[in-house]
Amino acid sequence: MAVRFDWKFAQGFVHPDELDKLQPFVTDVHQRLHAGEVPGNDFLGWIHLPSQTLARGVEDILAAADEIRQLADALVVIGIGGSYLGARAAFEWVKPEYYNQLPREVRGGPELYFAGNHLSAAGLKDLLRVLDGKRVVLNVISKSGTTTEPAVAFRVLRDWLVRQAGAAEAKRRIYVTTDRARGALKQLADAEGYRTFVIPDDVGGRYSVLTPVGLLPLAAVGVDIVALLSGAAAAEEALATPSLADNPAYRYAALRNILLRKGKTTEVLAYYEPALRMFAEWWKQLFGESEGKDQKGLYPSSMGFTTDLHSLGQYVQEGMRTLFETVVRVVRDDTGLTLPSDPSVDDGLEYLAGRSIAWINDQARLGTQLAHADGGVPNLLVEVEDRREQSLGELFYFFELACAASGLLLGVNPFDQPGVEAYKRNMFALLGKPGFEAMQAKLRERLGP
Ligand SMILES: O=P(O)(O)OC[C@H]1O[C@](O)(CO)[C@@H](O)[C@@H]1O
Pairing type for strands 3-6 and 379-384 reads: antiparallel
Question: Within a 10 A sphere around the Cβ of 310, how many other Cβ atoms?
Answer: 9
C-beta separation of 386 from 2 below 8 A? yes
Look at the pTM and tell me if it is higher than 0.90.
Answer: yes
Q: Please name the amino acid found at residue 7.
A: W
| Interval 299-319 mean pLDDT | 98
Nearest to 213 by CA among 101, 97, 389, 53: 53
Distance 19 CA to ligand 1 centre (A): 34
| Interval 415-433 mean pLDDT | 96
C-beta separation of 152 from 115 below 8 A? no
Measured distance CA(366)–CA(373) in Å, rounded: 11
pLDDT tens, 64-105?
Answer: 999 999 999 999 999 999 999 999 999 999 999 999 999 999
Confidence class of residue 232 from pLDDT cuts 50, 70 and 90? very high
pLDDT tens, 368-413?
Answer: 999 999 999 999 999 999 999 999 999 999 999 999 999 999 999 9
| Interval 220-247 mean pLDDT | 98
C-beta separation of 140 from 79 below 8 A? yes
Measured distance CA(360)–CA(256) in Å, rounded: 29
Confidence class of residue 351 from pLDDT cuts 50, 70 and 90? very high
Confidence class of residue 314 from pLDDT cuts 50, 70 and 90? very high
Any atom of ligand 1 within 6 Å of the Cβ of 290: no
Q: Residue 342 carries which DSSP code?
A: -
Nearest to 141 by CA among 203, 93, 59: 203
Confidence class of residue 261 from pLDDT cuts 50, 70 and 90? very high
Distance 147 CA to ligand 1 centre (A): 7
Q: Please name the amino acid found at residue 403.
A: C
Q: Residue 81 carries which DSSP code?
A: G
ipTM value for the complex: 0.99
- Write the CB contacts of 41 (distance below 8 Å, at least 6 apart in sequence): 415
CA geometry: angle at 63 spanning 61 and 68, to 5°? 90
Mean pLDDT of the chain: 97
Specify the domain boundaries for CATH 3.40.50.10490 within the chain. Answer: 3-37+239-410, 49-226
Question: Within a 10 A sphere around the Cβ of 340, how many other Cβ atoms?
Answer: 9
Measured distance CA(414)–CA(407) in Å, rounded: 5
Any atom of ligand 1 within 6 Å of the Cβ of 147: yes
Confidence class of residue 229 from pLDDT cuts 50, 70 and 90? very high
CATH classification code of 3-37+239-410: 3.40.50.10490
Q: What is the pLDDT of residue 295?
A: 97
Q: What is the pLDDT of residue 20?
A: 97
Any atom of ligand 1 within 6 Å of the Cβ of 211: no
Nearest to 177 by CA among 87, 256, 262, 109: 87
Instruction: Determine the residue of 43, 77, 80, 84 to mutate for testing ligand 1's pocket, defined as the one with the most ligand atoms within 8 A of the Cβ atom.
Output: 80
Dihedral sign for Cα atoms in the order 311, 312, 316, 318:
positive
| Interval 219-241 mean pLDDT | 98
**Active site positions, annotated:** 289, 424
Q: Is 399 helix (H, G, I), strand (E, B) or coil?
A: helix
Distance 320 CA to ligand 1 centre (A): 33
CATH superfamily of 49-226: Glucose-6-phosphate isomerase like protein; domain 1 (3.40.50.10490)
Rg (CA), the chain: 23
Q: Residue 79 carries which DSSP code?
A: -
Instruction: Let me know if 154 is exposed, middle or buried by CB neighbors in 10 A (0-12, 13-18, 19+).
Output: buried
